[in-house]
Structure 1
Amino acid sequence: MLRWGIIGTGFISHAMLRAISTSERSVVTAIAGRNKTALAELQSQYSVDLGFTETDELLASEQVDVVYIALPNHLHAEATAAAMAAGKPVLCEKSLTVTMDHADLLARAVRQSGLFFAEGLMYLSHPLMEQFTALLRDPSLGSLRSVSGYYSADIWQVVNPEGGGTLYNLGCYPSSLLHLVVKTMCGEDAFSKRHISAHGLKNNDGNIQDTAAVIHFENGVLATLQSSDSHGMTHSFEIVTTTGKLRFDTNPWLPEAGVNRMIWQPYVGAAREILVKDENDAFYHQTRMVERALAQGQTEAPRPAPRLSDSLEIMQFLADWDAAAGASFQPHATTA
């Protein structure tokens, strides 16, 4: 039985607490949070015995085997380094951090510890992504030519202003999926060989809230990505190859318990619906991924879940997109 400690009492902690409670191989033994009211409510709702107002107390507990960091992303590097120093493996919520300096600090702490670490891009642990990568490797799909992705949600009013804006809350999803597609279809080195241009609008916090990017990979593949936290709740992701196009009909970044769908449309012939049925959601499968990795003595997750090197490449991409969009900033915003 793997004993989890949860650091943070925000909404994302609920998702992992529910997921862990459905696994027969895991249990949450401790939660840490500065908000005493939220901490007490989580303990009561999920029947967790140990509650700490200081992170160090949780990390020192002998009742905790592995830590899930659910803090705002600008605190991820410090919290991960502290957990590693305490000898605790870590699952850290996305995005990895909000700057490459913080990402480098986090990576050094992980590598020096020799302990397990994974970024919580939970959707990459769902069977939907296993099926997706299997399709990407199918020779009948031909060669990759272009990718387009869009993700938006009206969350700008509630996100932490220190979190870097839409790119680090939402843009990390289509960015990480683009990363998976390019590396799977074009090789391990292809993703880093790119040029990016972007435009963006900022909110009153100074963070980018709406942005679009065009990416030209040196192998000739083109990609367009958009992200917004100022409106809607909508998603799209499609790849185009030399023989057809493959798109997600359901949200690839929030795979649900039940049926998730992709559509393959060849240039010649009828469209084919690909169904991936599973009774559990992505947070459950992320929990199982950590359980398996620790049971097998692994220090990182197997693909398609992100390895540390993958998380660093995705983080660098987000930083490049952020810089390109910021350079294009026009002095007007779409929200009050």
Structure 2
Amino acid sequence: MTLNWAIIGTGFISNKVIDGIKRSDGSQVQVIAGRKPDTLAKFQDEHAIPEVSTDYEAVLTDPKVDAVYIGLPNHVHHTVTGAAAKAGKAVLSEKSLTTTMNQADALMAAINDHNTFFVEGFMYLAHPFLQRFQAILMDGRLGDLRAVSGFYAADIWKFVNPMGMGTLYNLGCYPASLLQLTVQTMCGNDAFVNRRLQGVGNLGADGTVCDAACTVRFDNGILATLQSTDSYGTRNAFSVLGTKGELRFVSNPWQPIGGRSHLQWCPYDGQIEDIYVEDDFDAFYHQIKMVERHVLAGDREAARPSPRHADSYEIMGFLTEWEAACRSG
């Protein structure tokens, strides 16, 4: 079976997803939809896409389309996902899930009502690099989990839509999702939601949170610190500390590329071990292959380490709580 994709949205990220589809022998782009005919023509020419459209409804109900990628600003993810689910299409919707919990409730209701496949587009979680990370978390070398720290900084505020609600939903969702995977993997599926969070932040000129930091104490005693900013820098870090040592990312965990990705295991007593994952393809390709596997199997959701429905909803709850803490401070 070859999945015929509709791409909704003509932003930068759609190019990456299209490249991933083109590298797969199990998918092809059937149509790209957007609001600007000139931009659509450019996409069609660059990627040899058969069809273009400015009519989202017509695209979502097209019987030739099997799967839909939603690359629109995240404040409309719930409405387009709902329409795609109603039409019976498999849906890959870019992170973050939405921008409010009310929107998240509407999105989840739509995919449940129409029994369609849905996955949030945390592409990095589909890459073998993160599969290796999760395997190390489970192999016992860290001992008991004690602390997690991470940050993501990128000077992108000039290029993002203010309706996307700032750094937490553009960048902070990455360390938040990786924190969730870490805590769930080492402590069980329920551990992430049992927590106390404190946060602070700064507001940008557009009224959204541009710099954010939080500390979290989970009910089992694990501590976490996260930071996110879209107003300066280009840096990232993520580390996991157990009773026996530290596991840290040397490569950017949220942008695995084709080639070599790098982790370090740093035992408290012993030599540092460099861990490499070699793969020819980037995270966008692996995300497409993940969707293909699940759709072919008739699944409604992805399997870990990619986000399941409940995982995406929990991440939204975390981001919403973090934003409220930033604004109240």
Instruction: Indicate whether the TM-score tops 0.5.
Output: yes
Residue equivalent to 1:285? 286
Residue equivalent to 2:205? 204
Q: Are 1:83 and 2:84 matched, yes or no? A: yes
Q: Deviations over 1:223-271 (max 9, x none)?
A: 0000000011110000110000000000000001000000001011101
Residue equivalent to 2:237? 236
Q: Deviations over 1:138-187 (max 9, x none)?
A: 12220000000000100001100000100000000000000000000011
Q: Are 1:306 and 2:298 matched, yes or no? A: no
What amino acid sits opposite 1:271 in the alignment? I
Distance 2:303 2:47 in 1: 30
Distance 1:319 1:245 in 2: 29
What amino acid sits opposite 1:155 in the alignment? I
Pairing 1:68-217 to 2, within 5 Å after superposition? 68-217=69-218
Residue equivalent to 1:53? 54
Q: Deviations over 1:262-314 (max 9, x none)?
A: 00010111010110110000000000000000111111111000001000000
The structural deviation recorded for 1:62 is 1.7
Q: Which SS does the other structure have where 1:251 is aligned?
A: coil
The structural deviation recorded for 1:217 is 0.5
- The 8 Å contact of residues 8 and 56 in structure 2, kept in 1 or not, is answered as yes
Distance 1:154 1:37 in 2: 28
Q: Which SS does the other structure have where 1:303 is aligned?
A: coil
Residue equivalent to 2:318? 317
What amino acid sits opposite 1:212 in the alignment? A
Q: Deviations over 1:42-100 (max 9, x none)?
A: 11111111111010011121221100000000010000001011111100000000000
Q: How many residues align?
A: 328
Distance 2:52 2:232 in 1: 36
Moved over 4 A (4+): none
Q: What's the Cα RMSD here?
A: 0.6
Residue equivalent to 1:334? none
Distance 2:286 2:140 in 1: 28
Distance 1:61 1:109 in 2: 19
Q: Deviations over 1:92-147 (max 9, x none)?
A: 00000000000000000011111100000000000011101100011222000000
Residue equivalent to 1:227? 228
Unmatched tracts of structure 2, length 5 or more = none
Give aligned-pair identity as a percent: 51
Unmatched tracts of structure 1, length 5 or more = 329-336
- The 8 Å contact of residues 44 and 50 in structure 2, kept in 1 or not, is answered as yes
What amino acid sits opposite 2:241 in the alignment? V
Distance 2:139 2:25 in 1: 35
Q: Which SS does the other structure have where 1:158 is aligned?
A: coil
- The 8 Å contact of residues 75 and 98 in structure 2, kept in 1 or not, is answered as yes
What amino acid sits opposite 2:228 in the alignment? S
What amino acid sits opposite 2:114 in the alignment? S
Distance 2:140 2:33 in 1: 49
- The 8 Å contact of residues 142 and 241 in structure 2, kept in 1 or not, is answered as no
